[in-house]
Amino acid sequence: MIDALSLLDYRRRVSALYAEVRQLLDRDAAGAHGHWRAVRDQLFGQHAQSALPADQRDGFAGLQYYDYDPQWALRVPVDTDVEPERYEIDTSTGGRMAFVRAGRVTLPGGTLDVYWLDDYGGGLFIPFRDATGGDTTYGGGRYLIDTAKGADLGSTPLGELVCDFNFAYHPSCHYDAAYSCPLAPPDSWLDLRVEAGEQTYGR
């Protein structure tokens, strides 16, 4: 059974973390990244809603990341002149989750669709897989933005979306197969290596 109040606390902490990151990002991006890492390590190692199985938390020494790289700190316009198609995206447990394509962003190495969660409350979602997938990162991909879970780096005054790959992170199913997470669909695969953000846990 879900411990609703514990999960509420976890989500509040994640939302507060991203609010702090947004405040820091423009004046001290590397510092914002360091703060994000430190708080995530605290949540993973100590919180009851950590994605890590309970028996792995005592020896937890921190998640693994690439060094902060400013070249991957992108601000990009969202092309909303796309057909708003509805997609059933595969999940890690074999099910599917409904999203609607809301736009597209052009990045080094290709484009990524911007999805809107077609469920109660909604939320913007950008998953991706790159050439590090299955090597130094999870083969199912990573998440760049998932506002339904509080992972939101914000937008610029010009309306550009903050797509900073240094903050790319793995879905919960990477740590524990009991979680059901949407995986990056083939249209969200980039051909190049994005050596920024979180690396495979345990490397």
For 30-55, the pLDDT digits (tens) are 999 999 999 999 999 999 999 999 99
Residue 2 has pLDDT above 90, yes or no: no
Residue 202 has pLDDT above 80, yes or no: no
Measured in Å, how far apart are the chain's first and last C-alpha atoms?
Answer: 32
In a domain, 154, yes or no: yes
In a domain, 69, yes or no: yes
Q: Find the angle CA(154)-CA(119)-CA(17) to the nearest 5 degrees.
A: 30
Average pLDDT estimate for 117-138: 95
Average pLDDT estimate for 114-142: 95
Which of these, 95, 96, 172, 164, lies nearest to 126 by C-alpha position? 164
Average pLDDT estimate for 21-32: 97
In a domain, 40, yes or no: yes
Residue 126 has pLDDT above 70, yes or no: yes
Q: Taking each helix axis from N to C terminus, what angle separates 4-25 and 29-46, rounded to the nearest 10 degrees?
A: 170
Domain that holds residue 41: 4-188
Residue 203 has pLDDT above 90, yes or no: no
What mean pLDDT value characterizes the chain? 95
Q: Which residues contact 182 (CB under 8 A, 6 or more apart)?
A: 89, 90, 91, 97, 99, 125, 127, 171
77-123 pLDDT, tens digit per residue, is 999 999 989 999 999 999 999 999 999 999 988 999 999 999 888 99
In a domain, 194, yes or no: no
Structure confidence at residue 119 (pLDDT): 86
Assign 1 a pLDDT band (cuts: 50, 70, 90).
low
Residue 201 has pLDDT above 90, yes or no: no
Task: Specify the number of domains making up the chain.
Answer: 1
Assign 188 a pLDDT band (cuts: 50, 70, 90).
very high
In a domain, 199, yes or no: no
Structure confidence at residue 17 (pLDDT): 98
Structure confidence at residue 120 (pLDDT): 83
The C-alpha atoms of residue 142 and residue 188 are separated, in whole angstroms, by 10
In a domain, 176, yes or no: yes
Assign 132 a pLDDT band (cuts: 50, 70, 90).
very high
> Residue for token digits 């199985």?
53
In a domain, 203, yes or no: no
Which of these, 115, 116, 143, lies nearest to 129 by C-alpha position? 143
In a domain, 201, yes or no: no
83: left (phi over 0), alpha (psi -120 to 50) or beta: beta
